[in-house]
Structure 1
Amino acid sequence: MVAEHIAARGIRDEQVLDAMRRVPREEFVRPSSRSVAYEDHPLPISHGQTISQPYIVALTVEAAHIDSSSRVLDIGTGSGYAAAVLAEIAADVVTIERHPSLADGAREVLDRLGYANVTVVTGDGTLGWPDGAPYDAIVVAAAAPRIPDPWLQELADGGRLVMPIGKPGLGQSLKRITLGPDRDPRFEDLGGVTFVPLIGAFGTEPDRFGG
């Protein structure tokens, strides 16, 4: 998976490649999907959610520019796979999931695999998690047409926010947003993507966009 689908497509950060090699992706998918766990495409989990394709996870983590001292906020835990990849590199990861059963399942798997530097929170990810702020990086696994204000407030000076921006069905782009010394956001386009909609107080409303 790493050689054929990630490194071959341009991911160069050795920390990210090593993390992708170490995390057992089959532990984060349904039993019926274990035989295809290392193929490069999303897989369904519960509540209409998916585990993102490995390349997109690697691209997001690489774009976040994290290291062993980083504190990271992960929005949209899902099964916990991206949080595990982040935890292989970062000092601390806070991951937020709005579905209690998904959060409980991710917490169980992450605990069983020994990821003691991950805190799983059940709640509205669009509100962030101010108790752990400021964050060196925030990564997001759901798309919205705009950045929720709490995330920019919780991001450290010079911090990186990596998220898909756009509306479902109307085109989304993965963006890296970096806060400069004046805290004005600088945007970089990382390419087209397709994600589920961000739901929450500062996110996409499900009755408007079919989330």
Structure 2
Amino acid sequence: MTEAAYRPEDLVRAVRAAGISDERLLQAVRTTPRAAFVPAGHQAHAYHDVPISIGHGQVTTQPSLSAVMIEGLDLSVDEHVLEIGAGLGFQTALLARLATDVVSIERWPDIAHQAQLNLARQGIRNVPTVGDTWTGQGPVGHTTARCHRVLVETEGPFPGGGGWEPPPPSYLPQA
């Protein structure tokens, strides 16, 4: 398939091929334009089922893997989700289409800011903030200490650190 031939429906097919059958999730993938959540210059690959570099040695989660994780959460519409690792907001947007709200934490302030812009441009209003809790600029406590039944962590290894670094313990009271 040529670059120009890839479309949002190609992601839906890839997600189905990964075993996803939840129609709400498939509809969320269908109606969330991944091209709006990838860095400039990467739109040609937006509808490929691949991770995309977003800076700081980080990549987006492969869409089919995001879908597998999300389907495993068995979300109902009244869920409050705490997401660790917002990236540029694509997975956050999928979660937001399936839950009441999503509080998302991102380690890198510039990536968190871009995720906020991406979500706002798509009219996603049930993600009150995307922030950087490692420096105290993020959403921990933002939800007035609401407990979240659902916690999704997609933050990966950090460059130069050698391995996974947990977020500060301050997010645990919300989980």
**Range into which the TM-score falls when normalised by the shorter chain:** 0.7 to 0.9
Of 118, 129, 141 in structure 1, the residue corresponding to residue 140 of structure 2 is 129
Percent pairwise identity: 34
**Structure 2: how far apart are the matches of 1:113 and 1:71?**
20
Of 120, 141, 163 in structure 1, the residue corresponding to residue 154 of structure 2 is 141
List gaps (5 residues or longer) in structure 1: 145-166, 169-196, 203-211
Letter in 1 for 2:130: V
Of 20, 23, 30 in structure 1, the residue corresponding to residue 29 of structure 2 is 20
List gaps (5 residues or longer) in structure 2: 1-9, 170-175
The equivalent residue for 1:37 is: 46
Change (3 A) 1:37 1:2: closer
Change (3 A) 1:79 1:3: closer
**TM-score normalised per structure 2:** 0.78
Summarize deviations over 1:46-90 as a string: whole Å, max 9, x none: 111111111011011101111211100110111111100101111
Higher strand share: 1
Q: Secondary structure at the match of 2:20?
A: coil
The equivalent residue for 2:77 is: 68
Q: Secondary structure at the match of 2:14?
A: helix
Offset, 1:199: 4.6
Offset, 1:201: 3.7
Equivalent pairs counted in the alignment come to: 151
Question: Contact (CA 8 Å) 2:96, 2:126: kept in 1 or not?
Answer: yes
